[in-house]
Structure 1
Amino acid sequence: MAERDDAGALKLWAPVIGLTLSAFIFNTSEFIPIGLLTDIAKDFQITESQAGTIITVYAWIVTVLSLPLMLLASRIEYKKLLLGILGLFVVSHFLSAIAPSFITLMLSRVGVAFSHSIFWSIASPLAVKIAPRGKGAAALSLVVTGTAVAMIAGLPLGRMIGLYMGWRATFFSIGLVALAVAIFLLFIFPRVPAGAQGSSIAKVPLILKNPGLIGVYVLTALMFTANFTGYSYIEPFMAQVAQMPESEITFTLTLFGVAGILASVLFSKAFATHPKFFFACGTFGLGICLALLEFSSGHIWSAMLLCVFWGMTFTIFGLVFQSVVIRLEPQATPIAMSIYSGIANVGIGGGALVGGWVCAMPAIEWVGYAGAAFAFLGGLICFGMLRFFLSK
């Protein structure tokens, strides 16, 4: 009897598990170039800063498409839409694996970015729709966990495949896993009617008149730019400046992701009672970590320890300000969060671009200082607007 109940529960949760696996592969794919920049640059005989443009272009395409695709996606039956974007994702990754030139690789990443934009426009509401009755919050949390696991396992695993089999094998492997997930979803995912979200576009002007939300969006652009000025080039930085062996770079990237889980636990336990501390950690704390990046590179263990704190502070920033968005705009949260996601990708692309300029002009050692400048500016703005962020 108990086994039958377990089987029934698993069947109910199978669509959510499939969506979580999709979240894992989409986020692994977004950040995998960070761990493979040096190999990609060598293969196409370009610099790391030139190779880093695939991160910038990807992020900015997601920025432009996130909001309009969220509105358009509401008109299409969700199962068809999900399988369609996974199909585009798979084909794009197979094209990445055989790309004869950097331009071809860039075009294949455009296809991935397009599918990414649609997926994250529908993932959150879809998780709630397909969840067992009364389990919407748990389903949403599970999908978010897929994102965290991508940072902890997906990026390091993809990098390991790249080290032993070449970067092309990493992209091929991601495409293969995505194909398996698509086949799984084909058989277990229910048909989900499209929702009527078109009228919600009228709420955008109201959102943009909220000073607290405008502050969040400005900070999001600054802090994501700060983080990805350094993080986009973490792999060549650790190899060239910190002189880390390949295996220890992979381990450091894993630590960065694990630190995010530690930060999530701290946030859930203490944010309600110590909000100002978390605002400071997410802004000034991130700035301090970036400013100390070159200094910490003198020893492998100090560099690893810094990456732990760096991963924690950036995760804290995301948790704090997403919670602020939800509190400040409870009625139109999907639209407000879609704008947040788009602006975050402006920062990801901008950070990769700034980091590339720094690597090309002064030196890769300076990426931490450049990122810290954005973070400290963000910290000053944050505490200047704290009354808006803490208002009920």
Structure 2
Amino acid sequence: MKTKMSLKEWLPLIGMTISAFLVNTSEFMPIGLLTDISNDFNMTAAQAGVMITAYSWTVTILSLPLMLLACKIEPKKLLLGTLTVFSTCQVLSVISIGFPFLVVSRIGVACAHSIFWAIASPLAVRVVSKEHQSKALSAIITGTAIAMVLGMPLGRMIGLNIGWRMTFLCVAVISFVVLVYLAFVFPKIENTESFSINQLPELFKNSRLMITYIITFLFATGYYTTYSYIEPFLQRVAGFPSHLVTITLMLFGVAGLSGSYLFSRYYDDHRFAFVQTVLFGFAGALGLLYPASINMYMIILVCAIWGIAAMAFQTSFQAEIIGCVSTAASSVAMAIFSAIFNLGIGSGTWLGGVVYTNTSLNFIGFVGAMIVLVAAFISFIKFRSK
């Protein structure tokens, strides 16, 4: 019989969960504010999308090296230092006097993001007893999920009412509060990291892991070719008023929670069928985005299916990675997963901008769908025998 988690375990875990919410909210806020930011700096939404690309590629480049460097620093100091950089760079975003300044501040946030997601899950597990480790990991995932449901829509609502800079300020203030909180409640723990850089070649010899990474890159590229410009698409193509765009983005996140539930319900017993359904369903949702734009209810339904498939992919492919590497290598494998996913985010944002600028905003769903279909066919061929 399991014992209840003690207050000493709950307190740091709550701080880590809120931190996960803030980091993920900060990553996706600019998507919901892209039009306002571009208008403020007298540029197009496609041009402003460069900051999303810069953020993602920074995470891509730094996730693995910073994960390895994290092994050398006392965990509590690293966590507090990371949140200090994160909070300070949010303030720099607020006072940015030009678009290049804003991009630099976002790169600073991306550096903090890289370190945080390299250490978040391992630290969450270490602040609780062994019997509560799964609950600790679930808490971190919950913070991420809530960010998808509420983070970007709330940030957009704040931005629309009092300006996009105030959205970043709200994140900064809450982050500093959490930083002080964790300084008091987070325990001092010793470094016991067992993975070394010499073990990296073994990961890259794992064929199942490499296929998973390829599919992840293609999925994220197709996803963000469309999602990075979903706000201007809903406004200009579907004709949604601003408040309905916010509601649709929130419903997108709420639907994502259903994807997490479906994963827990069906993945273990129907792994192959579940993964294929997620990938082909996601491609179908992207492909139907423009045809569905003629009707408000149709496009909201498509976005809901899209949100379900997006969260189901995240959970199922993290499970795929954990299932094909050793326990000691799992954190490094997940850091690489994060880097590759963010490479896809940056690539997709860039590609979506190219489509938007040189052809039409109408086509971003079709382009994204074609890329995800490639991922789906690779998965169908390669995962069937695994």
Measured against the shorter chain, the TM-score band is: over 0.9
| Structure 2 counterpart SS, 1:134 | helix
| Structure 2 counterpart SS, 1:348 | helix
C-alpha separation between the residues in 1 aligned to 2:58 and 2:191?
A: 24
In the other structure, the counterpart of 1:380 is 377
Percent of paired sites with the same residue: 45
Contact between 1:281 and 1:317, CA under 8 Å: does it hold in 2?
no
C-alpha separation between the residues in 1 aligned to 2:130 and 2:223?
A: 39
Task: Report deviation, 1:215.
Answer: 0.6
C-alpha separation between the residues in 1 aligned to 2:130 and 2:192?
A: 18
Q: Aligned ranges for residues 345-384 of structure 1 at < 5 Å?
A: 345-384=342-381
In the other structure, the counterpart of 2:285 is 289
C-alpha separation between the residues in 1 aligned to 2:200 and 2:48?
A: 36
| Structure 1 counterpart SS, 2:384 | helix
C-alpha separation between the residues in 1 aligned to 2:193 and 2:377?
A: 40
Contact between 2:256 and 2:311, CA under 8 Å: does it hold in 1?
yes
Contact between 2:226 and 2:352, CA under 8 Å: does it hold in 1?
yes
Which residue type is aligned with residue 227 of structure 2?
Y
In the other structure, the counterpart of 1:103 is 100
Q: Aligned ranges for residues 113-124 of structure 1 at < 5 Å?
A: 113-124=110-121
In the other structure, the counterpart of 1:128 is 125
Equivalent of 2:338 in 337, 341, 346:
341
**1:220-277: CA deviation from partner (whole Å, max 9, x where unpaired):** 0000001011111111110111111111111111111111111111111112222233
Equivalent of 1:271 in 267, 270, 273:
267
C-alpha separation between the residues in 1 aligned to 2:127 and 2:239?
A: 48
Task: Report deviation, 1:323.
Answer: 1.1
In the other structure, the counterpart of 1:159 is 156
Contact between 2:285 and 2:302, CA under 8 Å: does it hold in 1?
yes
In the other structure, the counterpart of 1:39 is 36
Gaps of 5+ in 2: none
Alignment of 1:77 with 2:74, yes or no, is: yes
Alignment of 1:182 with 2:183, yes or no, is: no
Task: Report deviation, 1:195.
Answer: 2.9
Contact between 1:153 and 1:254, CA under 8 Å: does it hold in 2?
yes
Cα RMSD between the aligned structures? 1.4
Task: Report deviation, 1:133.
Answer: 4.7
**1:173-231: CA deviation from partner (whole Å, max 9, x where unpaired):** 1111101110111111111222334x432222111111111110110000000101111
Task: Report deviation, 1:25.
Answer: 0.2
**Structure 1 segments (4+ residues) deviating >4 Å:** none
Task: Report deviation, 1:302.
Answer: 1.1
C-alpha separation between the residues in 1 aligned to 2:159 and 2:142?
A: 24
C-alpha separation between the residues in 1 aligned to 2:278 and 2:346?
A: 20
Task: Report deviation, 1:13.
Answer: 0.5
Task: Report deviation, 1:282.
Answer: 2.1
In the other structure, the counterpart of 1:316 is 312
C-alpha separation between the residues in 2 aligned to 1:316 and 1:281?
A: 10
C-alpha separation between the residues in 2 aligned to 1:89 and 1:318?
A: 24
Q: Aligned ranges for residues 166-315 of structure 1 at < 5 Å?
A: 166-197=163-194, 199-315=195-311
What TM-score do you get using the length of structure 2 for normalisation?
A: 0.96
C-alpha separation between the residues in 1 aligned to 2:384 and 2:282?
A: 21
Task: Report deviation, 1:75.
Answer: 1.0
Which shifted more, 250-259 or 379-388? Answer: 379-388
Contact between 2:259 and 2:312, CA under 8 Å: does it hold in 1?
yes
C-alpha separation between the residues in 2 aligned to 1:279 and 1:23?
A: 26
Q: Aligned ranges for residues 137-148 of structure 1 at < 5 Å?
A: 137-148=134-145
Equivalent of 1:327 in 319, 323, 334:
323
C-alpha separation between the residues in 1 aligned to 2:170 and 2:68?
A: 32
Which shifted more, 319-328 or 353-362? Answer: 319-328
Contact between 2:59 and 2:114, CA under 8 Å: does it hold in 1?
yes
Aligned residues: 383
Contact between 1:62 and 1:342, CA under 8 Å: does it hold in 2?
yes
Task: Report deviation, 1:87.
Answer: 1.0
What TM-score do you get using the length of structure 1 for normalisation?
A: 0.95
Contact between 2:272 and 2:384, CA under 8 Å: does it hold in 1?
no
Return closer, same or farther for 1:340/1:133 CA change in 2, 3 Å cut-off: closer
Contact between 1:219 and 1:378, CA under 8 Å: does it hold in 2?
yes
Contact between 1:73 and 1:122, CA under 8 Å: does it hold in 2?
yes
| Structure 2 counterpart SS, 1:371 | helix
C-alpha separation between the residues in 2 aligned to 1:88 and 1:210?
A: 35
C-alpha separation between the residues in 2 aligned to 1:386 and 1:44?
A: 46
Contact between 2:226 and 2:286, CA under 8 Å: does it hold in 1?
yes
Equivalent of 1:53 in 50, 54, 64:
50
Contact between 1:279 and 1:320, CA under 8 Å: does it hold in 2?
yes
C-alpha separation between the residues in 2 aligned to 1:200 and 1:253?
A: 41
C-alpha separation between the residues in 2 aligned to 1:132 and 1:370?
A: 47
C-alpha separation between the residues in 2 aligned to 1:133 and 1:362?
A: 54
Task: Report deviation, 1:281.
Answer: 2.1
